[in-house]
Every structure is written in structure tokens, then in C-alpha cells.
Amino acid sequence: MRGVGTALTLAAVALLLRSTALSALAGRGVLIDVLAFAVTTWAMRRGETAGTLFGFTLGLLADLDAGHWIGRHALSLSLIGYAAGRVSQTLVKDRARSSIALLVAAVFVHQVWTLAFEVGAWSGWPYILQRALLATAVTAPLGTFVLGIVRRVVGKPLFSHAAVASGS
């Protein structure tokens, strides 16, 4: 039950950040993809099953919050949760390089998927790629920095090492 409460709190914080503080930055062209960050972090900590479930739930709530097609965020975030959880089993997850690599992939995929629905036409792909690259360039280093600060404050690793988690 403790994991459910933590997941709901993380989802509420991510959705509130997205619809309040970060929407003002998005209006100025600075995109911070807090949804992809939350799903990737949860999947790195809990694994692919929990990452998929959390991604789907957060994506469905984001779809309901935004008032567009249901499933647009849910599909991409559940796939990101599965992929990040699966790949993180083989990584040293407390390294900044591992975190930034997973965040780069997650943010880029999420942004391209969601922006493709908004633009729709093939002529809009330069715009989609520009926005996705900007979001990736901002979110991945910022997310890695936030994970580093949390790691320092907590005083212990946030994620278990892949060899320790697998028992080898």
C-alpha cells in the first residue's frame, strides 16, 4: 500500500507542476516534460511492470486533464515506463550518465508522439523535431540535476544496482 500512496503523490505533483508552474514556461517556449521524467524515475526505481502501470495511469490522468483524445499520453508513457524499467535492469542507475541517457530517450519519444497528434501534417515535422529537441535539451539535464540533489539530500542511492537487484 505504501507504493500506491507514493505513486499517487508523485502523479499528483507531476500533474500539478505540468498544469501550473511549467505551463507558464511552456508559453515562453521552454518545455520541461515532467510526465516523462516522473515515469522514467518511477520505472528506474520499481521496474518495468510498475513503470508501465504508473505510465498508463499518469498518462490517462494527463489526457483527462488536457481535454484531448484519451490515450495519447497513456500509450506513450506506458511504453516509456516499460522500456525504462526494462533497460534500467542492466544499468548502474545511480550514475548521471545512465539517468541522462534514459531521460533523453524518454523525453524525445514522448514529445514526438504527443506533438505528432497536435501538428498532424508531414510539413510540420521540422517544428515537431525542433520542439522535441528543445524539450530533451532542457528536461534531461534538469532531471539528472534534480536526481543528483535528491540523492545528496537522502544520503543513500535512490536506485539499486542492477547486479544487486538481479541477485547475481
Per-residue pLDDT, 141: 95
Domain ranges in the chain are: 2-156
Residue whose cell numbers read 523535431: 129
- The more confidently predicted of residues 38 and 31 is 38
pTM of the model: 0.87
Cβ neighbours of residue 2 under 8 Å, at least 6 residues apart?
none
Tell which CATH architecture fits domain 2-156.
Answer: Orthogonal Bundle (1.10)
Mean pLDDT of 56-62: 93
Mean pLDDT of 67-76: 85
Q: Could you report the per-residue pLDDT of 147-156, keeping only the tens digit for each?
A: 999 989 988 8
Q: What is the DSSP letter of 88?
A: G
Distances from the Cα of 39 to the Cαs of 28, 87, 126, in angstroms? 25, 14, 27
Query: pLDDT > 70: what percent of the chain?
Result: 92
Confidence band of 42 (pLDDT split at 50, 70, 90): very high
46 pLDDT exceeds 60? yes
* Residue 70 grid coordinates: 484519451
